[in-house]
Amino acid sequence: MISKTRYRLLLFAQLFILLSDLLLNSFSESFRQDNSILLLLFIIQDSLQILAITLLLISLFQTNVFQAGFVELLFDRFRVTVFIALIYLFLTIIVQVYILTTRWSNPLKHRWASGLLFFYVLQRSCSCIYYYFYKRAILRISDPRFYDDEWINHRVNHIN
């Protein structure tokens, strides 16, 4: 059973990462005059997203369901969140590379290529979906059933 203190620490870390990502998405355009700062912020954002995916997987690996070998039960409940997190990470990297390559030589010139606009809107839209599913997943993983052997036995008996 995961301890309450350990779970709270993990929950606050994951919520901090989501809040940081939201703030970086919101205010990254404010730093467009200095490409080196923008690049640093993008690296921090990507690192935090990778850390968020890692923390989610660690949370899943700590459950009794995973340790008993019933990975498909967890995968059924959390696969959408993992896939959305990966898609969001890739979209974020695409937008960041696109922004840096189109604006590197003249960062203050307002250039919005149609491809950049498409990926920018797609990434920002996907971010809302990502925030919802990730927050829902980190709250659902706290369900005591995932740490109880009785629930596993009940699920296995219904499958057979």
pLDDT value at residue 113: 78
Residue with the larger pLDDT of the pair 78 and 66:
78
pLDDT in tens, 3-55: 677 778 888 999 999 999 999 999 988 887 888 899 999 999 999 999 999 99
d(CA 116, CA 103): 11
Asked if residue 127 has pLDDT above 70, the reply is yes
pLDDT value at residue 131: 95
Please report, for residues 9, 67, 81, 131, the alpha-carbon distance to residue 134 in angstroms, rounded to integers and kept in the order given. 16, 22, 6, 5
pLDDT value at residue 106: 74
pLDDT in tens, 79-97: 999 999 999 999 999 999 9
**Smallest Cα–Cα separation from 48: which of 141, 131, 132?**
131
**Over residues 111-137, mean pLDDT:** 91
The residue type of 136 is: R
Q: For 107, which DSSP code?
A: T
**Smallest Cα–Cα separation from 44: which of 59, 61, 27?**
27
pLDDT in tens, 132-158: 999 999 988 877 777 766 766 676 676
d(CA 16, CA 9): 10
Ordered alpha helix ranges (H), 28-113: 35-61, 64-67, 71-103
Quick one: CA torsion of 113, 116, 122, 128, rounded to 10 degrees? -120
Contacts with 62 (C-beta within 8 Å, 6 or more apart), sequence order = 2
**Over residues 99-109, mean pLDDT:** 78
